[in-house]
Amino acid sequence: MIRLYYSINDRYPAYRVDLSELVAHSLKDLGVNTEWYMARDAQAGAGERRSYLGQVAHVPAAWNSWWGRRLNRLSYWLADWAGIARAGAGQFDVIQVRDKYLASLVALVVARASRKKFVYWCSFPYPEFAVEMGEQTPGFKGWLLRTKGRLAAWLLYRVIMPAADHCFVQSEQMREDLADYGIPLARMTSVPMGVPPRLLEWTRERHQDIVPQRIVYLGTLSAVRRLDEIVRAFALVKQRCPQATLVMVGEGDTPDERFALESLVRSMGLADSVTFTGFVPIEQAWDLAASASVCLSPFYPTKILASTSPTKLIEYMALGRPVVCNDHPEQSAIIRDSGAGVCTLWGAEHFAEAIVSLLDYPEQAEAMAARGPGWVAAHRTYTVIARKVHARYREIVGARG
């Protein structure tokens, strides 16, 4: 049994699959017992212990009053640091923090004082993202974002990660990027995104009729994704495939992001052919993707997004659907290895050409699609990924400092 204390930013109950499926389910089945610290959900009240998929989760106190809302952030930090201190005194083998800097410093000190292992989990290059957003934001707010990003980068890449007993990162590309900061490759393990095994079972048991010329995008509508390029690509597809339809499954980080895409669709005269579903239950999202003639996995080619690990690509492949994606370190490697779709350059013309090539030759598209589930079963279910992570935890706990 490995006992893990895990402090994360996500609100209770955490919904991200690399938390719920990987840690709370698959690693638990392998003998990793996790106790969590999460941000509070919309329900205000005193801090308390809750159950998260059969494991203990601590949430901080929160208040709905005018003064209370201004104290909630402080309450979150103080409860986080107190929880880490208790973990140092408790029966844990590993204290782990995800995407937090001050909490990581506290955890590092506590772990060293209590002779426990400190592990940092880096899921996204947030310091670089803050700098990039600052460069696009005018005035004092932009300066503040850039300064925050640079300070975070120094703290994370010069202090926290070099001192950690181990670091889990999102992808092999992120691992290589972080090695450029001087973090030893041997102390980093890439943990890419996957899918729960039940998705493959769901695909085998459920026959979903394919809607001819339906194109589906499943994921966030965040502006950083530059999905306006997909709308423009669809306009080009309509010129050659008049019956084509586009379904956008997901929501933006803010209402403005979805509104901007809907406005673009209307301005291009595509409103009758494009549907925005907003957030839907996961099985409804799978239903929609499984009905597609072509599924889309666009990743705007920036250094920040280059280190990400796409979930939607793996979901499409598990569902047995052909994929159009663009060049991206992980996506390119997966398509090259699996043959489950077409990888193209970024840009409306390139996406349109790839989409039409699959719509025009559905038998070839279905042959590509058929390769997806087997590849996912061998490489990207959370059962498979958990074995690799569990083996690393065993090495971390067993290694002498």
Q: What is the DSSP string of 2-32?
A: EEEEEEEEEESSP--HHHIIIIIIIIHHTTE
Would you state the pLDDT for residue 224? Answer: 82
C-alpha count within 13 angstroms, C-beta hemisphere, residue 401? 14
pLDDT number for residue 152: 97
Mind listing the pLDDT tens digit of every residue in the chain (401 residues)? 999 999 999 999 998 999 999 999 999 999 999 999 999 886 666 678 999 999 999 999 888 877 777 788 899 999 999 999 999 999 999 999 999 999 999 999 999 999 999 999 999 999 999 999 999 899 999 999 999 999 999 999 999 999 999 999 999 999 999 999 999 999 999 999 999 999 999 999 888 899 999 999 999 999 888 999 999 999 999 999 999 999 999 998 888 999 999 999 999 999 999 999 999 998 999 999 999 999 999 999 888 889 999 899 999 999 999 999 999 999 999 999 999 999 999 999 999 999 999 999 999 999 999 999 999 999 999 999 999 999 999 999 995 44
* DSSP secondary structure code for residue 376 in this structure: H
pTM above 0.85, yes or no: yes
pLDDT confidence of residue 237? 98
List C-alpha distances in Å: 127 to 87, 100, 152, 242, 304. Answer: 27, 11, 6, 44, 10
pLDDT at site 10 = 94
- State residue 355 phi and psi, 5-degree precision: -65, -45
Domains along the chain with CATH numbers:
2-193+382-398 (3.40.50.2000), 197-379 (3.40.50.2000)
